[in-house]
Structure 1
Amino acid sequence: ENIMVQMENGKRAVDAAIEAAAELRTPLLTASLTTAAAFLPIFLAESDVGEFTASLFKVVTITLLSSWIISLTVIPLLCVAFLKVTQQSESFDGPLFNGYRRVLSAMLRHRSISVLVTAAIFIVSLAGFGLLPNIFFPPSDRTYFKVELELPTSTSIETTADVVTDIEQFLRRVASAGDGETADVTSWISYIGYAGPRFVLSHNPVASRSSYALLIVNVPTAEVIDGLMNDLRAYAADRHPDLDMKLRKIETGPSIENPVEVRLSGSNSAHLFSAVDELKREMDRVGGLRNITDDWGQRIKQLNIRIDQARALRADISSQDIAASLQAGLSGLQLTEYREGEDVIPVLLRSSTSKQEDIGKLESLSVFAQATGKSIPLRQVADVEVAWDAARIYRRDGVRTVAVGAQIDSGVTASEKFDALAPWLTERQQAWGDDIRIELGGEFETSAESSDSISEKLPIAGFLILILLVAQFNSLRKSFIVLMTIPLGLIGVVIGLLVANSFFGFMTLLGVISLAGIVINNAIVLLERIQTEIDNGLEHGQAIVSAALQRARPILLTTATTVLGLIPLYLGGGEMWEPMAVAIMGGLLFSTLLTLGVVPVLYSLLFRVRT
């Protein structure tokens, strides 16, 4: 655009290309580096989201620097070769320029009012953030979902396999209901006893255990997933009442087992589980939550073997003898390993009747004495007691902690449910006192940690941007003017998200951060042009208006091309990328319009220009 303007003023194409490139090379480099610096906190973030977004900084930096090099080499070459411009005097008499000149003149005459009105619009836009739904990472639109099955702890692998077989029968009936193209299920894979490989970055496999199974179910379209999950949930609840089933769409961000989770900590187990029961009832009353469970699992029956050391000593039986005999009689004692190619198969010694063991048979289990080679019944050296206890015990900071979590229904956000639970938790905290400590987990905690990890690095980016601006302008006042354009982008972000009926999430936050680096580019080239006009002999007031008119077209063209380039991301990026595209497009549109008026006004105020 600058080359074209200089050619219209009568310069040869080669001279116009050289002068335009020389005039803009430093401002364009500064603009590119400030944009890249805005992405730096994303790269430096020390949280799980760094895995997902760290590459943005690298890609943006390389792309911008490559674009800067091309703009100073290839673009001038192409302009000299192909750009044909008719010589004409510089004119800004069109309807657009005349309207802009009148608006700008009015703002310069009423500078204080212009600044106050802009500040008021910004404050109102901040209040608009409260109207936006908050979703950390939306579910993906992938055409498959996870089915996690958790049976009571110590359930045998055979029993778990039987449950998986029954679930597969349901899936098989659904798959056979269509003709292959219309069926709601196309295929599935089952992992019994472990959580399979990490097939996507957001899948964190749990530790292997016999009571766990995972199914990955493929469907023709993502639209059928919600209905299929509801049918599968109802089927499992009817057939397997002791089964804890979690059906989850594949996350687009870090894996969060339960979007809504509240942790209760306390040293008194009775008080702790009383509070846990109260919390579960309240979560059920709130509605919109399902699979309300705690991480300690269902209470299980335990057989405690109380060894009478005096009797065991008289029979020459050691505790190791008893442990080995129990293992052989119940789960199996590994004797050796059998190798078949690359596979290593353990060989176990186990009682043939171990599946049918009851307490009576357990008490009559033969204990083999290594010292004497004799066997005696277990009841002669130990007593067997039955007790019910927690399947697992978790501690945080050395204190027993129970995490009560739940999945959310479609159309419900975790932030809404946290807001619904907050008053009740505040009230119960006063009733429970210091015996119980409450902490919020799930999506609330992960979102806060991710946002904090980026916020901690924002001062680094801000300092780098300030250094670049001071180096460019050699003026703190001009640098301040440029930085003041950043809040203008937030006005458009809120309006854009509200108009698009979108939400505020982590990717939206990335869009806001990246927008900060983009919107200052317009201010940089505008201030640079004002200085050029002053150096050419114009009075400050005339230089402001002249520079604004000259830079209006390239600024608007740059904004328009950026917005148009983001439309495919808005239309085809899905729920994950759509808010980010909306935030950048809306913020850039409004900040551009405001920058063309606010930057000249701030310049005239800070440099005391008479208007």
Structure 2
Amino acid sequence: METAEGIRAEIERQRVNFPTSVDVHYPFDTSPFVRLSIEGVVVTLIEAIVLVFLVMYLFLQNIRATIIPTLAIPVVLLGTFAVLGLFGYSINTLTMFGMVLAIGLLVDDAIVVVENVERVMEEEGLGPREATIKSMGEISSALVGITTVLAAVFIPMAFFSGSVGIIYRQFSVTIVTAMILSVLVALVLTPALCVALLRKPKHGVAKATPFRWFNAGFSGFTNIYQRTTHALLRRIAISVVLFIAIAAGVGALFTSLPSAFLPEEDQGRLVTAVQLPPGATADRTRRVLDQVIEHYMTNERDYVEGIFGSVGFSFGGQGQNVATVFVALKDFEQRRTPESSAAAIAQRAMAAFRSISDGRVVALAPPAIPGFGNNSGFDFFLRDTGNAGHEALMAARNQLLGAATQSEKLTGTRPNGQDDTPQFFISIDRDRASALGIELSDIDATLSTAWGGTYVNDFLDRGRVKRVYVQSGAEFRMQPEDFERWHIRNNAGEMVPLSSFSTGDWSFGSPRLERYNGVSAVQLQGSPAAGVSSGQSMEEIDRMVEDLPEGFSHQWTGLSAEERLAGNQALQLYIISVIVVFLALAALYESWTIPFSVMLSVPVGILGALAAASCFGQLNDVYFKVGLLTTIGLTAKNAILIVEFATVEESKGKTLIEATIEAARQRLRPILMTSFAFILGVLPLATASGAGAGSQNSIGIGVMGGMISATLLGIFLIPAVYVATRMLTRMGASRSPRSQPAADAPAK
């Protein structure tokens, strides 16, 4: 952003020196999209803070108690920005997404502290100081456990390599930093604020009508929850069957969810590639270019801000038969309807360009991240690994393109390059040229000057410096026979015909030498059809390549290569995160039962995230994977709150079921409060529109669905899973040989 602003400022300073006929336009500028994306995330961040505050106030019903967790937000965010600065990160969409996710997380610890202090004061009649001291003794280990789980989930992300690792790393550093600072604030600042701000509750004071309605409804729900939990614990087999069904649902949804690398974004611009048959002149190409420009400026005039077209340049190569058009769309504020989106404009353009019979015209959306190719579809190289030759490679390419046109999953599959063209080769007889006294450097200079032109000097024209180029006249360089009319001066000062020591021959071949990883290759691009994900289209290409003759393979590049890498690493990331969380909990509680029961609750949250993504047409992309990891951590957090208190209650002499029911009752309020605070905190992400909305929706919808499932189903299943795990542990211990007295042991 600073670079773009600096360029604009410098051009404005230089504008006074421009001729009056020169104006400045910016046909291709990525900075507006970046600026609008960050502004959108900042607005989302503010909305999340407001919604979290309202949830806390609804549950706590005390402005003093609500202010305490709210104060943790600026303290933690300030510290997080400081750590990001130390790591050299900038304020970008990735770090800001991490901040929005952290908003719902960082208040969790403070909410747990304040809620428990309020409960102790209400139930035991203690003052703020005594209640805070007792409360911190009860929940400090739970706070450390929650932070350990959430940090353990995200830490493995920081060690992944490649472009995916760069994306993951910024999320990891942002969220882990916020979590660590959050627990420090909850252990140090929040108790002090509780003592300073909270007051002993006064009984008999009438609350506002909305609060009375809420309390009545919550009390009724608590009674239903206790009875349902008690029934499930008495019939543990039902809970086991339910858990198996949830696990099966997770497996089915995960395998059926389409994959992608990044969601497509409306970046406010399009790129249109024009390619005519080999040998087409620049004038013929310009006529097609004028048709393309006419379409955008006439049929899409309500949505197009400006156009810049260039003949001779293309992403697939240079030549008279290619052109590129950069289309700048109007601001997002003027394009709020579905038909005004970049994807809709490109789709209409593709339909209109089919009527152009003089060449191939393709409208492309730029990739979500610059530097990974030039379009948002799939991108790969077809490689001649068997060294079959150029003609066989072209035949395999044409076979693949023919199969792609018949597939309903692909659209716009095309070569990103130029077709074979007629070529005129000049062969120099070096021995004869040397005998005639001609240097090879003079031959090169003559050919270069005659065909391409050579810069010789400058001259002044009305106060302006202009360059002088020398080139053969058009009538002397347009035909092959013109080659015989050129002469070169030898070392004796004589003019020697070029034809006396060289010959010209026609051939047919590729205008450029294409290799990929050292192997002859051609680049192919395309897009998934409507309703098809990029992952599904790539699988279709994989299937088609298998039908090609032996000796031909393909290799993904650009965004497609990153998508494959992200998909291959995803399973590793999930497994490592789960193992790290399990080991961290085992070390924290010095038990295998507690971490095992906590991890068994995770499928409940994953089920909700996958179901929400499937219902709203989301894809299994990088952002969704981040949301899935967040869901794993938050589901485990809810389980820790119940399991931790269940072990405490059991140590007081209660039975396993009684302790679990009491723990579930005590922790219901903070679980619901923290869960709804997070759900509403990510609601602006799930409902975002405009610049960067694709990424925000991908994170928000998945996490929101996961937390809703983890809250509404998890609070019932977590106690049952914990009891079932403890029962199995006891059964295993009773059957262990170590638990039985030795037969020959002496009697005491």
- Whether the aligned pair in 1 keeps the contact of 2:313 and 2:323 (CA below 8 Å) is yes
1:396–1:423: structure 2 CA closer, same or farther, 3 Å change rule?
closer
- The alignment yields a C-alpha RMSD, in angstroms, of 3.8
Counterpart CA distance in 2 for 1:523 and 1:355 is: 84
- Whether the aligned pair in 1 keeps the contact of 2:253 and 2:610 (CA below 8 Å) is yes
| Structure 1 residue 157 displacement after superposition | 8.7
Alignment length (residue pairs):
586
1:6–1:213: structure 2 CA closer, same or farther, 3 Å change rule?
same
> Which of the numbers 244, 250, 264 marks the counterpart of 2:382?
264
> Which of the numbers 481, 488, 491 marks the counterpart of 2:607?
491
Q: Does 1:553 align with 2:669?
A: yes
The residue type paired with residue 134 of structure 2 is E
**What is the CA deviation profile of residues 352-409 of structure 1, one whole-angstrom value per residue up to 9, with x for unaligned ones?**
337852111123222333x333332221111011111112232334332223322345
- Whether the aligned pair in 2 keeps the contact of 1:289 and 1:407 (CA below 8 Å) is yes
Counterpart CA distance in 1 for 2:465 and 2:456 is: 13
Counterpart CA distance in 2 for 1:18 and 1:373 is: 104
1:540–1:239: structure 2 CA closer, same or farther, 3 Å change rule?
closer
**What is the CA deviation profile of residues 398-448 of structure 1, one whole-angstrom value per residue up to 9, with x for unaligned ones?**
33222332234554433443455555544x24xx2x332345667654322
Q: Does 1:603 align with 2:722?
A: yes
Q: Does 1:317 align with 2:434?
A: no
The residue type paired with residue 584 of structure 1 is V
Q: Does 1:218 align with 2:329?
A: yes
- Local SS of the residue matching 1:48: helix
Counterpart CA distance in 2 for 1:373 and 1:455 is: 75
> Which of the numbers 14, 18, 31 marks the counterpart of 2:129?
14
| Structure 1 residue 520 displacement after superposition | 1.0
- Whether the aligned pair in 2 keeps the contact of 1:10 and 1:87 (CA below 8 Å) is no
- Whether the aligned pair in 2 keeps the contact of 1:45 and 1:454 (CA below 8 Å) is no
Aligned to 2:245: 120
> Which of the numbers 348, 358, 364 marks the counterpart of 1:241?
358
> Which of the numbers 563, 566, 586 marks the counterpart of 2:682?
566
The residue type paired with residue 552 of structure 2 is I
The residue type paired with residue 351 of structure 1 is S
- Whether the aligned pair in 2 keeps the contact of 1:47 and 1:453 (CA below 8 Å) is no
- Local SS of the residue matching 2:492: coil
Aligned to 1:229: 346
Counterpart CA distance in 2 for 1:120 and 1:506 is: 27
The residue type paired with residue 67 of structure 1 is S
- Local SS of the residue matching 1:384: strand
Aligned to 1:39: 154
1:218–1:562: structure 2 CA closer, same or farther, 3 Å change rule?
same
Aligned to 1:358: 479
1:129–1:11: structure 2 CA closer, same or farther, 3 Å change rule?
same
**What is the CA deviation profile of residues 70-97 of structure 1, one whole-angstrom value per residue up to 9, with x for unaligned ones?**
4345544554424552469xx9994323
- Which ranges in structure 2 are unaligned for 5 or more consecutive residues? 1-114, 205-215, 732-748
**What is the CA deviation profile of residues 548-593 of structure 1, one whole-angstrom value per residue up to 9, with x for unaligned ones?**
2111221122112211212111111523222322221222222234
**What is the CA deviation profile of residues 292-316 of structure 1, one whole-angstrom value per residue up to 9, with x for unaligned ones?**
3224421122111111234323312
- Whether the aligned pair in 1 keeps the contact of 2:239 and 2:721 (CA below 8 Å) is no
Counterpart CA distance in 1 for 2:286 and 2:156 is: 47
- Whether the aligned pair in 1 keeps the contact of 2:273 and 2:361 (CA below 8 Å) is yes
- Whether the aligned pair in 2 keeps the contact of 1:526 and 1:548 (CA below 8 Å) is yes
Counterpart CA distance in 2 for 1:127 and 1:603 is: 25
Counterpart CA distance in 2 for 1:339 and 1:50 is: 55
Counterpart CA distance in 2 for 1:43 and 1:337 is: 56
1:570–1:358: structure 2 CA closer, same or farther, 3 Å change rule?
same
Counterpart CA distance in 2 for 1:216 and 1:339 is: 37
1:71–1:193: structure 2 CA closer, same or farther, 3 Å change rule?
farther
The residue type paired with residue 711 of structure 2 is T
Counterpart CA distance in 2 for 1:591 and 1:173 is: 52
Which deviates the most, 148-157 or 290-299?
A: 148-157
Q: Does 1:372 align with 2:478?
A: no
- Whether the aligned pair in 2 keeps the contact of 1:47 and 1:450 (CA below 8 Å) is no
1:272–1:458: structure 2 CA closer, same or farther, 3 Å change rule?
same
The residue type paired with residue 489 of structure 1 is G
- Which ranges in structure 1 are unaligned for 5 or more consecutive residues? 178-182, 196-204
The residue type paired with residue 264 of structure 1 is L
The residue type paired with residue 115 of structure 1 is V
Counterpart CA distance in 1 for 2:351 and 2:524 is: 22
Aligned to 2:551: 435
Which deviates the most, 439-448 or 401-410?
A: 439-448
- Whether the aligned pair in 2 keeps the contact of 1:143 and 1:221 (CA below 8 Å) is no
Which deviates the most, 93-102 or 515-524?
A: 93-102
- Local SS of the residue matching 2:649: helix
**What is the CA deviation profile of residues 428-485 of structure 1, one whole-angstrom value per residue up to 9, with x for unaligned ones?**
24xx2x3323456676543221233454455654454234312321112212222222
Aligned to 1:589: 708
Q: How does 1:369-518 map to 2 (within 5 A)?
A: 369=490, 371-420=491-540, 423-426=543-546, 428-429=547-548, 432=549, 434-439=550-555, 445-457=561-573, 461-518=577-634
Which deviates the most, 323-332 or 261-270?
A: 261-270
Q: How does 1:250-289 map to 2 (within 5 A)?
A: 250-253=366-369, 255-257=372-374, 259-261=377-379, 263-266=381-384, 267-269=387-389, 270-287=391-408, 289=410
- Whether the aligned pair in 1 keeps the contact of 2:120 and 2:126 (CA below 8 Å) is yes
- Whether the aligned pair in 2 keeps the contact of 1:482 and 1:524 (CA below 8 Å) is yes
| Structure 1 residue 19 displacement after superposition | 2.4
- Whether the aligned pair in 1 keeps the contact of 2:450 and 2:477 (CA below 8 Å) is no
Counterpart CA distance in 2 for 1:351 and 1:237 is: 39
User: TM-score normalised to the size of structure 1?
Assistant: 0.83
Counterpart CA distance in 2 for 1:373 and 1:118 is: 96
The residue type paired with residue 487 of structure 1 is P
- Whether the aligned pair in 2 keeps the contact of 1:483 and 1:520 (CA below 8 Å) is yes
| Structure 1 residue 273 displacement after superposition | 1.7
**What is the CA deviation profile of residues 270-328 of structure 1, one whole-angstrom value per residue up to 9, with x for unaligned ones?**
32221211111111122464443224421122111111234323312233222111001
- Local SS of the residue matching 2:162: coil
- Whether the aligned pair in 1 keeps the contact of 2:271 and 2:324 (CA below 8 Å) is no
Counterpart CA distance in 2 for 1:513 and 1:136 is: 16
User: TM-score normalised to the size of structure 2?
Assistant: 0.69
Counterpart CA distance in 2 for 1:344 and 1:160 is: 32
Aligned to 1:62: 177
Counterpart CA distance in 2 for 1:507 and 1:395 is: 33
The residue type paired with residue 316 of structure 1 is G
The residue type paired with residue 215 of structure 1 is F
The residue type paired with residue 514 of structure 2 is Y
Counterpart CA distance in 1 for 2:673 and 2:648 is: 21
The residue type paired with residue 103 of structure 1 is T
Aligned to 1:187: 306
Counterpart CA distance in 1 for 2:584 and 2:131 is: 27
The residue type paired with residue 304 of structure 2 is V
1:464–1:121: structure 2 CA closer, same or farther, 3 Å change rule?
closer
